[in-house]
Structure 1
C-alpha cells in the first residue's frame, strides 16, 4: 500500500492544497513570527529541507526563515483529519517592494490522493470541506500567537487576494476560503461558488 507520509515517493508530491497567509510586510521578523506559530498549530512532526530522503535519513533543520530561504521549503509530516499521517510543507512567497510576503502551508495533492481525501469532483476547481475546515482550525490557532490580516484556503491560493483591497469585507462570491481579521477577530468565509 502506498504511504502518503513518504518523502521519497515522488508521487506524493504535486500542487498544494494550502493555507496561505498574507504576512503584511516583507520583513523576516514578521515571517518568522508566523512560521513559529504555524508549525506547532498544525502539529507538524519534524522540520526537514530535503524531499528525496525520508525523515529518519536526514538531519532536521531549524524552523526558521533562514532554513526556509536555504531550502526553498520546509517539510514535515502531519496528521490529517482522517487520522492518516501525510507529508506537508511550507514555503514563503516573497513580494518584494510592491507587495507583502505570503507564508504557504500545504499538503501536496499526491499525498491527499493516497490518503483518500477527495478534493476534486470534475468541476474546474479543487475543494475539500474536510481539509478546508482543518486548515481553518490551524489558521485560528496560528492567529492566537501571530495575528494576521488575511488567510486564504484552497488549491494554490497564495496571492489570490490581498487584505488592503478587501478593506475588511469578505467577498460575497468566494472561489476559495477567506480568513479576514476585523477588530482583532478572525472571520471565516467558506468558498461558496
Structure 2
C-alpha cells in the first residue's frame, strides 16, 4: 500500500471528503479563530502551502487567513480514526457582500483509498459513517472554541446548504450530515438516505 500521508504522491489528492463550516461572518478575525480551532481540534500535523514537496522538504507556513489567501489552501497531515496518517487540507470560500464565509476542511478520497477507508457502496453519493462521525466530532470540538452557524459533512458537500435553509431545524431526510447550532448547543444529524 502506498503512503496516504505523502504530499508528493499526486494520487493522494483529488475530490475531498469534507467538513464544510459556514462561519456566520465575513470578518477575518472570525475566520482566523475558526481556522485555529479547527486545525487544533483535528490534530493536524504541520501547516504547508505546497503539495509538490513532503513536509520535511518545505518550510511550514503560518496557519492563518493570510496563508489561505496566498496559497489557496493550507495543507497538513491528520490521523484518521483507523490509525492511518493521511494528507488533509483546508480552504476558505469568502462570502463577501453575498453572505457568510465558509471554511472547508477535507481529506482527499485518494488518501482515504490508500488508508483502506470504504466510502463507496454503489449509492449515488459516497458515504462513510466512520469518516462522517469523525468529522462531526472535529466540528463539535471546534464549536466549543469558535461557534459557527452551520456545518455539513460528506463527500463534496460544501455549498449544498446554508443556515438560512434550515430555520425549521434539521431535515428529516439527509443526504449529508448536518451540524446545526440551537440554543448554544451543536446538534448533529447524520446522513440517513
TM-score (structure 2 length as normaliser): 0.98
Q: How does 1:133-144 map to 2 (within 5 A)?
A: 133-144=133-144
Q: Distance in 2 between matches of 1:171 and 1:71?
A: 36
1:143–1:186 CA contact under 8 A, matched in 2? yes
Q: Distance in 1 between matches of 2:24 and 2:147?
A: 10
Q: Distance in 2 between matches of 1:119 and 1:25?
A: 32
Structure 2: state its 5+ residue gaps.
none
Corresponding residue for residue 36 of structure 1: 36
Corresponding residue for residue 90 of structure 1: 90
Q: How does 1:1-193 map to 2 (within 5 A)?
A: 1-167=1-167, 169-193=169-193
The number of aligned residues is 193
Q: What secondary structure sits across from 2:91 in the alignment?
A: strand
- When the two chains are superposed, the root-mean-square deviation of aligned CA atoms in Å is 0.8
Q: Displacement of 1:96 after TM fit? A: 2.2
Structure 1's consecutive aligned runs of 4 or more residues displaced over 6 angstroms after TM superposition are none
Q: Distance in 2 between matches of 1:135 and 1:72?
A: 22
1:180–1:188 CA contact under 8 A, matched in 2? yes
Q: Distance in 1 between matches of 2:26 and 2:157?
A: 19
Q: Distance in 2 between matches of 1:46 and 1:181?
A: 30
Q: Distance in 2 between matches of 1:141 and 1:52?
A: 31
Q: Distance in 1 between matches of 2:62 and 2:124?
A: 38
Structure 1: state its 5+ residue gaps.
none
Once the two structures are overlaid, the 10-residue window that deviates more, 175-184 or 19-28, is: 19-28
Q: Displacement of 1:168 after TM fit? A: 5.2
